[in-house]
Amino acid sequence: MTTLQKGDKAPNFSGKDQDGNIHTLADYKGQKLVVFFYPKADTPGCTAEACDLRDNFERFKANNYALLGVSADSAKAQSKFKTKYEFPFPLLADEDKSVIEAFGVWGPKKFMGREYDGIHRTTFIINEEGVIDEVISDVKTKAHAAQILK
């Protein structure tokens, strides 16, 4: 599914967050960037994952990490999600799926015997030089920060 691997240059993405601000890979040069893709705002698994990252945000900051959440939800849905759970990091509203497709996390999924296309829950850890240090495809939603901050 995900074609990007450790050692690959991260895609030079550009996307709008919940407030309409543009975020690009270049904005994060000089710090580590965690880009986490999740299927849908304010659903149980996505909420558990984002809240775990929120609860460990100071640890991320102390280790020079920035966090960026991405889903295909609208800016309005992302804004409500961010406000409801007081996330200290931006959430990209990637409705045209340009960032999602650049990272290769859109594709066929199965749920309760049904096949459909959707976002595969995947996290990319990008180093200060814009190179992918790690790809986490087996995301533990309730303990995701521990997977990243080993």
List pLDDT tens digits, range 40-51: 999 999 999 999
Whether the per-residue pLDDT at 31 is higher than 90: the answer is yes
**Across residues 62-81, what is the average pLDDT?**
98
- Identify the pLDDT of residue 111: 80
Tell me the per-residue pLDDT of 99-118, one tens digit each, with 9 for 90 and over.
999 999 999 998 889 999 99
pLDDT at 112: 86
Is the pLDDT assigned to residue 150 strictly greater than 90? no
- Catalytic, out of 46, 70, 72, 77: 46
Residue 2 predicted with pLDDT over 80: no
Section 45-71 average pLDDT:
98
User: What's the chain's average pLDDT?
Assistant: 96
pLDDT reported for residue 32: 98
Catalytic, 46? Answer: yes
Question: What pLDDT shows up at residue 1?
Answer: 60
Task: Give me the pLDDT at residue 3, please.
Answer: 80
Contact yes or no for 109/74 (Cβ under 8 A): no
**Whether the predicted pLDDT of 73 surpasses 80:** yes
pLDDT of residue 57: 98
Reduced 3-state DSSP string for the chain: CCCCCCCCECCCCEEEECCCCEEEHHHHCCCEEEEEECCCCCCHHHHHHHHHHHHCHHHHHHCCEEEEEEECCCHHHHHHHHHHHCCCCCEEECCCCHHHHHCCCEEEEEECCEEEEEECCEEEEECCCCEEEEEECCCCHHHHHHHHCC
